[in-house]
Structure 1
Amino acid sequence: ESGVNYTAGLPVVRTSPAHGTAFELAGKNEASPTSFRNALYLAIDVARSRKLYDEMASDPLLVGNPSSEGRDESPEDLEAQGES
């Protein structure tokens, strides 16, 4: 009655009510909208989560502080710079 199908691994979000199209209930005022509503809410949640993930992964922080030679500076390098 309230189940949802979710198809993972697609570039688009796809959810559907667990009961399918339920053509046999169409037009009889017998179908419960709960499964459809849950499928819709799940699709919204997945879309928002994907957007948030893309935003967080789009601009990662740089690792370390590369020196002019292209390597990360070690704590010893920083201490030596402080002494001079």
Structure 2
Amino acid sequence: MEVTGIISAIIVGLVIGVLARLLVPGRQPIPIWLTILIGIVAALIGTAIAAALGVATTRGIDWIELIIQIVLAVIGVMLASYAYGRRKVSR
């Protein structure tokens, strides 16, 4: 993977993470850096899934790949919110 590919993956992951956070209803008690990380991981895994399904390379915008990435990011944000919400602060 080239440097431009890594940079574009980070930018796409950032956007996907923010979109996922907006799509999950309610307040998410997770830090923004975790949202971005979830978006980056979801973008990479979503691209791999789209490639395995044979829909990663299409003419124009890869809508199916983008939908897969967003769904994965939404699931990731929901799981992270659940995990952070269960943590108790002990004093």
Q: Does TM, scored on the shorter chain, surpass 0.5?
A: no
TM-score (norm 1): 0.39
If you compute each CA radius of gyration, which structure gives the higher value, 1 or 2?
1
Name the structure where helix makes up a greater proportion of residues.
Answer: 2
Name the structure where strand makes up a greater proportion of residues.
Answer: 1
Work out which structure has the larger RCO, using CA pairs closer than 8 Å and 6 or more positions apart in sequence: 2
TM-score (norm 2): 0.37
